[in-house]
Amino acid sequence: MDRKQSQVLNLERVQALETWLKSTDIKLTQVNGQRKYGGPPEVWYGPTPAARCEVFISQIPRDAYEDLLIPLFSSAGSLWEFRLMMNFSGQNRGFAYAKYDSPAAANEAIRLLHGHMLEPGFRLSVRRSTEKRHLCIGDLPASSRQEDLLKALRVITDGVERLSLKAGPGIEGVSAIVAFSSHHAASMAKKVLVEEFKKQFALKVSIKWQCAVKPSLDEQLSAHKPLKSLLPSPLRPPRLAPGAPGAPQPWDPPPRMARPTPFPLGFCRAVGGPAVPQHPQHPPPPGSSPSSSQRHLVAPSPSPAALLRELCEATGVGPPLYEVCYSHSVPNGFLYFTYKVRIPGIAASFRGLVMLLPGPAAATLEEAQRAAAQQVLQRLYSSQLTR
């Protein structure tokens, strides 16, 4: 391989991507200079993500592909779509978009992964995607009618949701503000509309992004809507029928929910796992033997997997089912595992990535399961706190 080729394509990385795709059965689609996963994935039970669910990722090494990026960004939440911008050479263009199932998951991706060192010398930049979804089509004939223009646009391009016409002083002819279902749909339309209007209607129009669009009421509510807890909360008292003993009266002030206490988690070899506290929980009784005193030094701490199972039992759903798979390793020796946790009776599943210290195979898989349970618990409790 000559020097020019080595700068263009890393064949070892390409082969690693192909091996990962075969082992995971993940499907990627090449569309208009980008490679897309999901939108939604094949198994998706939730709704289409609303606004503020997408992050923009830059500073990606040119020979890093989805086998590294998708497991990494899945560790922050459930991915609805991942789009990696690609060159014809087979390299990526250094940036990508990840869309999650909720704004809270997008916030978590920014918190966890902004500044993450994917390779020595490459720290990822992760920030909120602007997600522009409105285009302004200018220089339309004064006789343009809203319903006719809407029908024509839906024939020309995909993702058109609605439009409004505006005319007046300082506006040449008529302009249309067009709302699209996504930033991607608007970007694709921006590339083709000028040429299509010229070819199909012999009209020379102008196309530009429309930034000063006030968000709709639905968009404002979705932007501030807290992440809904997936499990019924065992901390919430049952609702009582009006008039029943103990039921709140209309004039009673609404009760304040107590902030749940942090759940105790034992140490696991997953990076970032909290350690067991090493201070006495209760003073030993007078005259007790040394062995008895030692038993009082540390209160037993149930494992994350046991806590998650107990929570499922307390809320009346089935026990959690784990799918843990080895993903890749890094030069410093850490191992990455992807996981999927399904809880019978709940439509959505939990997916993510954990990083472990190496050890015996059976013990490492057990640690990966513990780390997965720990992340699921953290998501459940953080979603409850944001209510």
Q: Which CATH number characterizes residue 88's domain?
A: 3.30.70.330
Determine, yes or no, domain membership for 357.
yes
pLDDT for res 225:
36
Report pLDDT digits (tens) over 133-149.
899 999 898 888 889 99
Q: Does residue 194 sit in the same domain as residue 83? A: no
Which of 210, 239, 273 finishes a domain? 210
Confidence of residue 258 (pLDDT cuts 50, 70, 90): very low
What crossing angle do the helices spanning 103-113 and 66-74 adopt, rounded to 10°?
A: 120
Of 73 and 329, more confident: 73
For 94-123, what is the mean pLDDT?
Answer: 93
Of 381 and 385, more confident: 381
Q: Does residue 30 sit in the same domain as residue 123? A: yes
Q: Flag whether pLDDT at 215 surpasses 60.
A: no
Structurally, the chain folds into a number of domains equal to 3
Q: Does residue 118 sit in the same domain as residue 63? A: yes
Q: Does residue 200 sit in the same domain as residue 172? A: yes
Parent domain of 360: 298-385
Which of 170, 186, 210 finishes a domain? 210
Q: Flag whether pLDDT at 32 surpasses 80.
A: no
Determine, yes or no, domain membership for 364.
yes
Q: Does residue 7 sit in the same domain as residue 122? A: yes
For 34-42, what is the mean pLDDT?
Answer: 91
C-alpha to C-alpha distances, 274 to 57, 78, 82, 262, 320, nearest whole angstrom: 29, 24, 31, 12, 22
Of 190 and 254, more confident: 190
Check if the beta carbon of residue 32 is closer than 8 Å to that of residue 188.
Answer: yes
pLDDT for res 362:
67
Of 264 and 381, more confident: 381
The CA distance from 292 to 285, in Å, is: 9
pLDDT for res 310:
86
Q: Does residue 123 sit in the same domain as residue 139? A: no
The CA distance from 284 to 282, in Å, is: 6
pLDDT for res 361:
67
pLDDT for res 112:
93
Q: Does residue 122 sit in the same domain as residue 147? A: no
Q: Does residue 79 sit in the same domain as residue 179? A: no
- Per-position b or e across 209-220, b if 16+ CB within 10 A of its CB: ebeeeeeeeeee
Determine, yes or no, domain membership for 267.
no
For 232-251, what is the mean pLDDT?
Answer: 48
Task: Let me know the angle formed at the C-alpha of 119 by 118 and 121, rounded to the nearest 5 degrees.
Answer: 115
Q: Does residue 9 sit in the same domain as residue 115? A: yes
Of 327 and 244, more confident: 327
Q: Flag whether pLDDT at 208 surpasses 50.
A: yes
pLDDT for res 383:
62
Determine, yes or no, domain membership for 270.
no
Of 96-105, 257-266, 290-299, the range with the highest mean pLDDT is 96-105
Q: Does residue 120 sit in the same domain as residue 144? A: no
Q: Does residue 112 sit in the same domain as residue 155? A: no
Of 133 and 266, more confident: 133
Confidence of residue 17 (pLDDT cuts 50, 70, 90): very high
Of 60-74, 218-232, 355-369, the range with the highest mean pLDDT is 60-74
**What is the residue whose two structure tokens read 């196309």?**
207
CATH code of residue 317: 3.30.160.20
Confidence of residue 242 (pLDDT cuts 50, 70, 90): low
pLDDT for res 170:
54
Determine, yes or no, domain membership for 379.
yes
Of 358 and 217, more confident: 358
For 373-378, what is the mean pLDDT?
Answer: 85
Kindly report the average pLDDT of the chain as a whole number: 75
Check if the beta carbon of residue 50 is closer than 8 Å to that of residue 222.
Answer: yes
Q: Flag whether pLDDT at 268 surpasses 60.
A: no
Report pLDDT digits (tens) over 327-367.
777 666 677 888 888 887 776 678 888 887 776 766 778 88
Determine, yes or no, domain membership for 186.
yes
Determine, yes or no, domain membership for 115.
yes
Q: Does residue 179 sit in the same domain as residue 117? A: no
Determine, yes or no, domain membership for 317.
yes
Which of 86, 111, 128 finishes a domain? 128
* Total residues belonging to the chain: 387
